[in-house]
Chains A and B, each alone.
Chain A
């Protein structure tokens, strides 16, 4: 069983479209995250949720809207996609917010054409 699973693995879309990425963890963790990895492999945190509540929002454009229906799921919706949104998006989870180790999904490679 995959601990942190995200779908889709690949997403190719046109500029201006709206798309969603889904993430689920079966580890019983309280905290979930979205990270963005650019073409130079730099990983930057975007959002963090703890028990369905937003706790970190790292100056991400408001075109990005995370939603956590329950603590096992954290989805990411992106409106009006731009070329600069092309990246690999990783979902992750941790037991709680006290800097426990992160468990990552396998990533969603988003290509905006």
Chain B
């Protein structure tokens, strides 16, 4: 079957440092990739996306990198803040299937 990401790991980061969350995907036909943030008790919230014709995209304090050769996606968060504490999901989609498949997520915790 299709597989995105790994079992739910935890990343602990010092406040103010940069965070890098990684994700592996297995479907080479995927052409759209998204990162979502899920805070406790809430639904996932869109952070940033990237299409397969790009390898980098930047937002406010976040950067997504896509390496199609090794089917790897990463989310970089600059100057991590307490409000960044959440579970982060990578997700993939492909036009022919019209659906988004989520990875298993990474929990980001911030040390003061």
Contact = CB atoms under 8 A, between A and B. Distances in A.
- Do A and B pair up? The answer is yes
For B8, B38, B43, B99, the residue with the greatest tally of chain A CB atoms inside 10 Å of its CB is: B43
Contacts of B100: 45, 99, 102
Given A41-B8, A41-B105, A99-B32, A104 B44 contact: yes
Contacts of A106: 41-43
Interface in A1-44: 4, 35, 40-44
A102 B99 contact: no
Interface residues of B, number: 26
Interface of B: 7-8, 31-32, 34, 36, 38, 41-46, 49, 87, 89, 93-95, 98-102, 104-105
Contacts of B7: 40
A92 interface: yes
A103 interface: yes
Contact of A42 (B32, B93, B104): B104
